[in-house]
Amino acid sequence: MEARVLNLLFRVRMQSLRNLLTRLHQESFFKIVVVGGLGAGFWVALYLIFNESFYFLNSNAYVFRDLLCKRILSLFFLTLLIMLVFSNALISFSNLFRSKETEFLFSQPVRHDTIYIYKLLESLLFSSWAFLAMGVPLLIAYGVQEHVEPLYYVAMVLYLIPFIVIPAGIGALLGLLITAFVPRHRGKALAALGIAVAIPCVWFVVDVLNARAGNEPMGFGTEMRADVQMILGKLDFTQYTMTPNFWMTQGLFLLGRGGPQSLGAGLAFFAALVTTALAVVVTGWFIAGTLYESTYSFAAVATRGRQRQGRWWFERLITPIQRRWPGVTVIVIKDVKTFLRDPVQWAQVLIFFGLLTVYIANLRNFSYPLDRIFYQNLISFLNLGATCLTLATMISRFVFPLMSLEGQRFWVLGLVPLARRRILMAKFIFSLSGALLVTESLVLLSNYVLRSAPIIYYLQAVTAALICVGLTGLAVGMGALFPSLHEQNPSKIVSGFGGTLTLILSVFMVMLIIAAEAVVCHRFLVQDMALDETSEAARVFQFWMWIVVGGAVLVTFLAAYVPMKLGARALDRMEF
Digit-coded pLDDT (tens) for 251-305: 888 888 877 778 888 889 999 999 999 999 999 888 888 888 888 887 766 544 4
Q: Are residues 321 and 297 in the same domain?
A: no
Dihedral angle at the C-alpha atoms of 528, 534, 540, 545, nearest 10 degrees? 80
Q: Are residues 286 and 344 in the same domain?
A: no
| 395 falls within a domain | yes
Burial 25-50 (b: 16+ CB within 10 A, else e): eeeeeeeeeebeebeeebeeebbeeb
Q: Are residues 398 and 524 in the same domain?
A: yes
- Whole-number Å distance between alpha carbons of 328 and 426: 5
- Whole-number Å distance between alpha carbons of 222 and 219: 5
Q: Are residues 514 and 576 in the same domain?
A: yes
CB–CB of 251/269 below 8 Å?
yes
pLDDT for 220 equals 42
| 311 falls within a domain | no
- Whole-number Å distance between alpha carbons of 426 and 420: 10
Q: Which of 77, 82, 71 is nearest to 208 (CA)?
A: 71
Q: Are residues 69 and 163 in the same domain?
A: yes
Q: Are residues 297 and 327 in the same domain?
A: no
Q: Are residues 136 and 60 in the same domain?
A: yes
- Whole-number Å distance between alpha carbons of 384 and 432: 17
Q: Which of 440, 446, 445, 447 is nearest to 461 (CA)?
A: 440
Q: Are residues 372 and 288 in the same domain?
A: no
| 247 falls within a domain | yes
Full pLDDT tens readout for the chain, 576 residues: 567 777 777 787 777 777 766 766 665 565 667 667 767 777 788 788 888 888 877 776 666 677 777 888 888 888 888 888 887 887 777 778 877 788 888 888 888 888 888 888 888 877 776 666 777 888 888 888 888 888 888 888 888 889 989 988 898 888 888 888 877 766 667 667 766 666 666 666 556 555 554 444 444 445 556 666 666 666 777 778 888 988 988 888 888 887 777 888 888 999 999 999 999 999 988 888 888 888 888 776 654 444 454 455 556 666 666 566 666 676 777 777 776 666 556 656 666 666 666 666 666 555 556 667 777 777 888 888 888 888 888 888 888 887 777 765 666 666 666 667 777 888 888 888 888 888 888 888 888 887 777 888 888 889 999 999 999 999 888 888 888 777 666 666 776 778 878 888 888 899 899 888 888 887 766 555 444 555 666 677 777 888 888 999 999 999 999 988 888 888 777 765
| 171 falls within a domain | yes
Range of the domain at 382: 317-576
- Whole-number Å distance between alpha carbons of 84 and 166: 9
DSSP-based three-state secondary structure for 532: coil
Count of Cβ atoms closer than 10 Å to residue 208 Cβ:
15
Handedness of CA 433, 436, 439, 443 (dihedral sign): negative
- Whole-number Å distance between alpha carbons of 335 and 329: 10
Q: Are residues 574 and 451 in the same domain?
A: yes
Q: Which of 190, 179, 167, 176 is nearest to 115 (CA)?
A: 176
Q: Are residues 358 and 444 in the same domain?
A: yes
Tens-digit pLDDT profile for residues 132-185: 677 788 888 888 888 888 888 888 888 888 998 998 889 888 888 888 887 776
% helix, strand, coil for the chain, step of 5: 85, 0, 15
Handedness of CA 357, 362, 368, 370 (dihedral sign): positive
| 8 falls within a domain | no
pLDDT for 345 equals 62
- Expressed in angstroms, the distance from the first to the final Cα of the chain is 41
| 215 falls within a domain | no
| 321 falls within a domain | yes
Q: Are residues 285 and 321 in the same domain?
A: no
Domain count, the chain: 2
- Whole-number Å distance between alpha carbons of 525 and 537: 10
CB–CB of 478/427 below 8 Å?
no
| 526 falls within a domain | yes
Q: Are residues 131 and 280 in the same domain?
A: yes
Tens-digit pLDDT profile for residues 38-81: 677 777 887 888 888 888 777 766 666 777 778 888 888 888 88
pLDDT for 216 equals 44
